[in-house]
Structure 1
Amino acid sequence: MNLETVWREEDGARLAATVWRAGDGYRAVSSAPLGGGIGPARWVLNAQVAGRYSRTDPVAHLRELAAAFGLEGPGVGMLTAASVSRTVRRDDGGVRVSATVGLRVPTWASAPAGRPDPELAPIDLDGASPPARAPGTVNIVVAVPVPLSDAALVNAVITATEAKTQALLEAGYSCTGTASDAVCVAARTGAAADGAEVEVFAGPRSVWGARIARAVHAAVHAGALDYSAYLEARNRRGQA
């Protein structure tokens, strides 16, 4: 996964995005707004938005950004208010992962019905006048160099999510993630006739699932620790 970082000016801020120009030969499973579900993916875009993001058409916005970055054909696009320039990358046995980690509102997946979600509250841009709050979302992109069946793709999402939660807990965050997390797992296309056997399992104890788990865990754990250091430095600046 050759990930590049690109920049743009939007809403009065300089914002980063990561772009993976995968080309032909990949299909993905994703929960992202653009290109979600299972289908071919020639590219994956993870774009940062301003903290006070208010657009109600994220799919149209992502299509605009994809066009601006020269991305053509089917692809996957996700948004985050977290700092995309701090994206962490980790590899394991051919599996490549990138994770953008922001934990403004660490969230347990199961919560009482009717409880207000603070993740939906407006947030300020980095560097804004106090009281500014740090943005948060955990976006994960996984690249697998072998074909996965539909079931294995879904299994890979479960594995990545479990590894993410393990990493967050071990990094000191009492949560399963945030309410706006997104994931994309892209695997090579092919068949046994092409010399690439289709994997039917991607659980954490399968060959490729274990590699996905380790790479996601390493990336999210490092990203969570980096986020903690970012908050600590931010607080020190606020007290100076």
Structure 2
Amino acid sequence: MTAVLPPPRPPVAGLLRVQHLTRVENGERLHALLWRAGPDWRMISSAVLGGGIGTRAWVLNAQVSHGYRRTDPERHLAGLARDAGAQGAGVGLMTAADVRAYGHACDDGVEAVVTAGLGVRGWAAAPAESTVAPVRPDTVNMIVALPVALTDAALVNAVATATEAKVQALLEEGYDCSGTPTDAVCVAARTGPGREAHAFSGPRSLWGSRLARAVHGAVRGAASCAP
């Protein structure tokens, strides 16, 4: 069994200062990470709670049981966030991985926090017959924060850039896969009066390249201690 390493801690002055939460469900001790982003953040996410594009004030990445059977994950995540005191609209992610073993990296103002459960993994363009088998909720969850505003198109492009960086990191860590069937992402960009919205976030753009390097480092950190 791979040892769970103590999680690296974001710098005090960083954007992504996550809070570790603990709860007990059905006799099992579970963990979560909560980022209280606050106002003036516009996010894009594939999450079941708060997915799409919009103004969001927090991001919750909650560990759930490997035997998770609830059919209302959106309500479940909203309740966990409410119990933690999160206010306003937010994003809720879930994973069967122990989120205490997260990876954190930054690159010139862009920060990423990643949790990785890689027990079930494969390639996105797998044969059709492989998509019908039930899978455990092992997941790679990525949360990225940029200190600048992005247009809607650039937010979409940022998701693609983050995904490319994730695959590169997994391959470099020795995982022959593009991820897991349930990977999720949340990219947060600053907003507010007087902020110029950047139109590009591909891997060779100024902010996209920084995003890619931050995600790459955080995924490698999380994957290195994944079970």
TM-score scaled to structure 1, two decimals? 0.85
Show CA shifts across 1:159-193 (max 9, x none).
000000000011100100000000000000035xx
C-alpha distance in 2 between matches for 1:102 and 1:140: 12
Superposition deviation, residue 150 in structure 1: 0.1
Residues 83-94 of structure 1 aligned to structure 2 (within 5 Å): 83-94=98-109
Match of 1:19 among 34, 59, 66: 34
* Higher-helix-fraction structure: 1
Q: Which residue pairs with 1:154 in the alignment?
A: 156
Identity %: 55
In the alignment, does 2:170 pair up with 1:168?
Answer: yes
Superposition deviation, residue 116 in structure 1: 4.7
Give the direction of change, closer, same or farther, for the CA distance of 1:43–1:180 in structure 2 (3 Å limit).
same
Show CA shifts across 1:134-162 (max 9, x none).
x6210000001000000000000000000
Q: Which residue pairs with 2:65 in the alignment?
A: 50
Counterpart secondary structure, 2:69: coil
C-alpha distance in 2 between matches for 1:116 and 1:72: 37
Count of aligned positions:
212
Counterpart secondary structure, 1:109: coil
C-alpha distance in 2 between matches for 1:73 and 1:190: 17
Q: Which has the larger radius of gyration?
A: 1
Letter in 2 for 1:15: L
In the alignment, does 2:197 pair up with 1:186?
Answer: no
Counterpart secondary structure, 2:150: coil
C-alpha distance in 2 between matches for 1:76 and 1:95: 19
Show CA shifts across 1:61-113 (max 9, x none).
01111111111111000110011111111111111110001101111000112
Q: Does the 8 A contact of 2:104 with 2:221 survive in 1?
A: no
Q: Which residue pairs with 1:33 in the alignment?
A: 48
Counterpart secondary structure, 2:140: strand
Residues 134-149 of structure 1 aligned to structure 2 (within 5 Å): 136-149=138-151
Unaligned residue ranges in structure 1 (runs of 5+): 123-134, 232-240
Show CA shifts across 1:46-66 (max 9, x none).
000011111011001011111
Match of 1:95 among 106, 110, 122: 110
Counterpart secondary structure, 1:86: coil
Counterpart secondary structure, 2:70: coil
**Displacement over 6 Å in runs of 4+:** none
TM-score scaled to structure 2, two decimals? 0.90
Q: Which residue pairs with 1:107 in the alignment?
A: 122
Letter in 2 for 1:186: A
Q: Does the 8 A contact of 1:144 with 1:188 survive in 2?
A: yes
